[in-house]
Structure 1
């Protein structure tokens, strides 16, 4: 099963150093039966895009958590969403029944670097919008329409595709 895993650039560096994404359990996003039923008119490519978008949203939350842990000032974590795409055995994936998170899955084992298919990362030019979205996330969670608009601005940026061989270049 193709799974989209949220990450950050420092997290990706840790994955490379460890040789795997883990420890399990891991939260990811995939084309699940619930997603297919909900988005019945979508083809496989569209459904995979939905799953990747959900992973990018989760990456934004990871960035917000890192920013908060770093004290909120001069954050060391680059403001770029990262989604790691992996091909994992179906037996390692548990699909939930959460209606609000139709694409969410749980991986029961770490993901080896050899299972990675690609990585998707924000262009550095998106950083100001990503930083604004990180700052707006708490207000958006409380229903603030202006903050949600700021999140939409971040989501308007398409993630760039990188082959697994290019991962070291992303970490420079």
Structure 2
């Protein structure tokens, strides 16, 4: 199952140093039956985009609670076995899931991060005009430099 882990630069740096996301369980976002029903579509691309957007919103909330980390949203996309994902959807968060296991780096597919120029808007909570940029796994260490 493809999951979207909301993160920050600090969380991403720790995951890279530790070889993955080791402090399970995690709140993540994914295409769930609840999300399908809420959006009324079976378009996988649209559903994945919505799940990633929900993770980006959660990343913004994490940033608001961590003023010392760079003001750039981070969403990590990973493939995990269905058996480690539990439903956690709420009426206001139909894509929310709970990941009950570690997510090793080998499971990470990509990361999606705000451009550095978006930081002032992100810090002010104005994220609606900014799309996340795609980064391959081999680029992640360089992204944090």
TM range (shorter): over 0.9
Structure 1: which 5+ runs fail to align? 68-75, 134-152
Is 1:83 matched with 2:75? Answer: yes
Ranges of 4+ aligned residues in structure 1 off by more than 2 Å: none
Q: What per-residue deviation string (whole Å, max 9, x for no partner) do you get for residues 19-41 of structure 1?
A: 11131110000000110111123
CA distance in 2, matches of 1:157, 1:42: 25
CA distance in 2, matches of 1:114, 1:22: 13
Flag the 1:41–1:126 CA change in 2: closer, same or farther, 3 A: same
RMSD (Å), alpha carbons: 1.0
Structure 2: which 5+ runs fail to align? none
CA distance in 1, matches of 2:128, 2:104: 28
CA distance in 1, matches of 2:101, 2:132: 26
Preserved CA contact (<8 Å) 2:89 2:95: no
More strand by share: 2
CA distance in 2, matches of 1:97, 1:87: 19
Normalization by structure 1: what TM-score? 0.82
Alignment partner, residue 95 of structure 2: 103
Is 1:115 matched with 2:88? Answer: no
1:155, CA displacement in angstroms? 2.3
CA distance in 1, matches of 2:89, 2:26: 16
Alignment partner, residue 36 of structure 2: 36
- Counterparts of 1:7-156 in structure 2, within 5 Å, are 7-67=7-67, 76-133=68-125, 153-156=126-129
Normalization by structure 2: what TM-score? 0.96
1:101, CA displacement in angstroms? 1.0
Secondary structure of the residue aligned to 1:99 is coil
CA distance in 2, matches of 1:50, 1:31: 8
Q: Look at both structures and tell me which one has the larger radius of gyration over its CA atoms.
A: 1
1:42, CA displacement in angstroms? 5.0
